[in-house]
Amino acid sequence: MAETANFHVENLFKLKDYVCLVTGGGTGIGLMATQALSANGAKVYITGRRTETLEKAASEHDPKSQDLPGRIIPIGPTDVRSKDDLQNLVKEIEAKEGYLSLVVAAAGVPGPKEPSPDTNSAKELKEQLWDSESVDEWNETYSSDVTSVYFTTLATLPLLQAAPEDHTSSVIVISSMSGIMRDSQSHFAYNAAKAATAHLSKMMSKEFARFNVRVNSIAPGYFPSEMTMKGSDERNKAHMPDEKVKDKGHSVPAGRSGRDEEMGMAVIFLARCAYVNGQILAIDGGVLNEVGGS
């Protein structure tokens, strides 16, 4: 039976001695997750394809500079589409730590954007969509947003199983509300890939439960990131003005983009709550209430 002190936020969500890996951890939602975890005591390894971006994220957002207990450590570079890169990454972490408490799979690409289907002619629509993208672009989107998540999780599974029992080891897959809604948003490839990512997380949660490894997914709505804003500032951060959110063709009940801290709350909750497995947590400002989802 829990004493009242057990419900103190520092006891509920403590991350002391947690060792985490965040793919795509240098910018966007990956960086938000990294900040949240490290601010609360975790040692967070961040990886991606751009060494300079990883090093800048670690230096600009170093928790030690703000008297916070965790660490941010660049590792790699790693192309999560490469099994060899993933194997090398795991070997390096294993030599340094021996276990992982949490993996956040945040690396991904936006995929091709099609023109908005604005015709009642099937022939015209076919021509618009057929000419605007390629099979290679679809395959690249799927490889980056789905296949890489599967192999990242497989590669790290033994390290996750090796985590201390009280760490409730888990994987958090960053999918998207776009993978839940029926609207293509002129992103057929991306939305289809993110739907696959969300379902993949459910399958992995079932199959990997035998190893005491949980798998959950966060489906973000409109959050400022390098992907959504086509770039980052000198601290690897992006800003999404309210006007941008209000110009989406549908209502965003929150009236704004998601805040970095709100993403951090979701990450820490899923990292710590051992009674949550196989779930997709939409953090969307109420968008799915408006547009409908699966």
Q: Which pLDDT score, from 0 to 100, does residue 294 have? A: 65
Q: Which residues pair with 281 in a beta bridge?
A: 218
- On whether residue 227 sits in a domain, the answer given is yes
- Would you say 39 and 68 are in contact if contact means Cβ atoms under 8 Å apart? yes
**CA distance linking residue 21 with residue 156, whole number of Å:** 9
Average pLDDT (33-57) is 97
Return the active site residues.
175, 190, 194
Average pLDDT, integer, range 113-118: 78
**What SS3 class is residue 222?**
coil
Predicted TM-score of the model (pTM) = 0.95
Q: Is residue 133 part of a domain?
A: yes
Q: Is residue 50 in some structural domain? A: yes
Q: What is the pLDDT of residue 46?
A: 98
Please compute the mean of the pLDDT values over residues 225-248 and round it to a whole number: 83
Range in 103-112, 124-133, 172-181 the model is least confident about: 124-133
Structural domain including 221 reads: 9-291
Average pLDDT, the chain: 94
Q: Which residues of 16-30 are buried (b: 16+ CB within 10 A; e: fewer)?
A: eebbbbbbbbbbbbb
What is the pLDDT, as a whole number, of residue 109?
94
Q: Residue 246: what pLDDT?
A: 81
Any idea what the Cα angle at residue 176 is, between residues 252 and 173, rounded to 5°?
140
Asked whether residue 48 is domain-assigned, the answer is yes
Q: Measured between alpha carbons, how far is 38 from 166 in angstroms, rounded to an integer?
A: 18
Sheet holding 170-174, edge to edge: 71-74, 43-47, 19-23, 102-105, 170-174, 214-220, 280-283
Q: Which segment of 48-57, 143-152, 239-248, 252-261 scores lowest on mean pLDDT?
A: 239-248
Distances (CA, A) of 142 to 43, 89, 197: 30, 22, 9
Q: What is the pLDDT of residues 188-225, one digit of tens each?
A: 999 999 999 999 999 999 999 999 999 999 999 999 88
Structure confidence by residue, pLDDT tens digits, 175-185: 999 999 988 88
**Domains: count for the chain:** 1
CATH code at position 78: 3.40.50.720
Identify which has the larger pLDDT, 131 or 260: 260
CB atoms within 10 A of CB 230: 9
The answer to whether the peptide bond before residue 115 is cis (omega within 30 degrees of 0) is: no
Terminal C-alpha separation, the chain: 38
Percent of the chain with pLDDT over 90: 81
Judge whether residue 233 has pLDDT over 90. Answer: no
249 has pLDDT over 90: no
Model confidence at 44: pLDDT above 80: yes
pLDDT above 80: residue 157: yes
From 165, 201, 32, select the one nearest 46 (Cα to Cα).
Answer: 32
In a domain, 4, yes or no: no
Do residues 18 and 37 lie in contact, with contact meaning Cβ atoms separated by under 8 Å? yes
26-40, 65-79, 243-257: least confidently modelled range? 243-257
**Exposed/middle/buried for residue 224 (C-beta within 10 Å: 0-12, 13-18, 19+):** buried
The answer to whether position 1 is within a domain reads: no
Can you read off the two tokens belonging to residue 75?
A: 């590792």
Instruction: Tell whether the model's pLDDT for residue 273 goes beyond 80.
Output: yes
